[in-house]
Amino acid sequence: MKFTQAFKMAAKSIAGNKVRSALTMLGVIIGLAAVIILVSYAQGQNQAMREYYESMGQNTIDVNAYVYDGSIDIPTELSNYCQSISQYVEGVTPNSTIWSDLTIQYGVHTLGETQEIDMGGGMIMIDTSQRPTSYLASDQFAVCNNYTLAKGRDISFMDIKASNQVCVLGAAVAQNLFGMIDPIGKEIDINGMPFNVIGVYKAKGNGVTEYNDEGDNWQEVSMSQMDNILVFPYTLNRILNNNSSVDQYTVKAKDSDSAKIAATLIKSYLTSIVGDMGWVDVYNQGVYQEEEDEANKLQEMFLGGIAAISLLVGGVGIMNIMLVTVTERTREIGIRKAIGAERRSIIIQFLIEAAMICGIGGIIGIIVGYLGTLIVGKLFLNIVLIPGTGITVGAFAISVALGLIFGLYPAAKASKLQPVEALRAD
């Protein structure tokens, strides 16, 4: 029998039992769509996590070091040592959070309140109820934390040495305080003290803007918490952080291998100079990212395995229907064998029919999976999530393979029928 003839016969059989064929395909459609949606969701979630780590800065090392009596200048010691291992390190900065409450004002605007700003063409609503995170840092804060200047300049070595009352704003803080006004050179009030704005970082998060044209032109602005920051020279810890010690640092390594080496060297050096006079902790963020990547891969496999159970159930359904088909077409099989049809021809015919059912179901399942992935990505991750080509091709190949695997037994059973017994069937 020619393959083209086998395909025509298989298509005729499927078309002749539309409802039964559709119900058989349903298991494959649901299983395939479930595999695509769940695996794509896991990959999208993992990608979002990787992008978050990248936005924070890759190949970074967190260092916590403190001396009880303050006899060792840790910021200077760490900076000098990192310069001596510059083949591994790109930058180092104090990264201490200011825990004391800061009241931040510019004109009539105070962070910590919901305010209306007149933009000329309408009113803009700015939600500033979440206070910004304030950091004490050096001139290498941007390098170590993956920030880029949008305008102005960054903190300089002279700002740190002279304890200048200057600051750099995150994009959200600049928007909340100044709206469309250029903040560079403006003076803001922090706890009653004047600070000069010298720079603004580019936004890291995705700005979301929503409009409501009922009545006034209201605008609602939302940005990532990573943009809701202020950065000050770390030598201002006396007036901004109640003279608390600067004990948190971020070191930027050149690559992941350098991060491992640098983390070991830095911990050994700081431990040797601090001794029993304080404590030292060094964490290589790359190690945690690698561990999380491994956990994410396991999650993808776990979700894919759960969804694959649906495909397995669909395959059992195909075997069941093909066995019914063999029973219904016993007389036809007997006639074909009586006129000389080979076992191979019978097997090929039934395998092609099973593969066609799974193939058609697979195509529909891919379409459903694509639509479901788009919906899930928008609802749960707020991103446009599209299944990868590998998942799609792999899922379709699996669906066709299911037809061949689960159709093999019914096909073999049909090919073994004896012509005389088959012709006696009603």
Among 65-74, 170-179, 303-312, 376-385, whose mean pLDDT is lowest?
A: 303-312
* Residue entry with tokens 């044209």: 213
**Between 251 and 42, the higher pLDDT residue:** 251
pLDDT bucket at 215, cuts 50 / 70 / 90: very low
Among 108-117, 400-409, 413-422, whose mean pLDDT is lowest?
A: 108-117
By the 8 A CB rule, do 404 and 351 touch? yes
Task: Give the pLDDT mean for 285-295.
Answer: 70
Q: What pTM, to 2 d.p., does this model score?
A: 0.60
What contacts 410, CB < 8 A, 6 or more positions away? 319, 322, 323, 325, 326, 350, 354
Q: Which amino acid is at 5?
A: Q
- pLDDT score, position 220: 41
Helices (H), 377-388: none
- For residue 258, CA distances in Å to 58, 82, 107, 197, 423 come to 12, 12, 47, 35, 77
Residue 200 has pLDDT above 80, yes or no: yes
- DSSP code for 223: -
241 vs 173: CA distance, rounded Å: 20
Rounded to the nearest 10°, the torsion over CA 231, 233, 239, 245 is: 100
Residue 112 has pLDDT above 90, yes or no: no
By the 8 A CB rule, do 71 and 277 touch? yes
Task: Give the pLDDT mean for 248-252.
Answer: 94
In 119-192, DSSP assigns E strands to 123-127, 133-137, 149-152, 166-169, 187-190
By the 8 A CB rule, do 407 and 351 touch? yes
**Between 205 and 398, the higher pLDDT residue:** 398
- pLDDT score, position 148: 92
Residue 209 has pLDDT above 70, yes or no: no
- pLDDT score, position 384: 86
**Between 169 and 336, the higher pLDDT residue:** 169
**Between 368 and 27, the higher pLDDT residue:** 368
**Between 407 and 329, the higher pLDDT residue:** 407
Q: Which amino acid is at 399?
A: S
Task: Give the pLDDT mean for 166-178.
Answer: 92
pLDDT bucket at 128, cuts 50 / 70 / 90: very low
**Between 361 and 418, the higher pLDDT residue:** 361
**Which run of H or of E encompasses 59?**
none
Among 109-123, 148-162, 225-239, 381-395, whose mean pLDDT is lowest?
A: 109-123
**Between 230 and 70, the higher pLDDT residue:** 230
- For residue 88, CA distances in Å to 2, 256, 280, 394 come to 67, 10, 20, 41
**Between 45 and 300, the higher pLDDT residue:** 45
Residue 156 has pLDDT above 90, yes or no: yes
- For residue 71, CA distances in Å to 136, 244, 282 come to 20, 14, 21
22 vs 45: CA distance, rounded Å: 33
Task: Give the pLDDT mean for 251-273.
Answer: 92
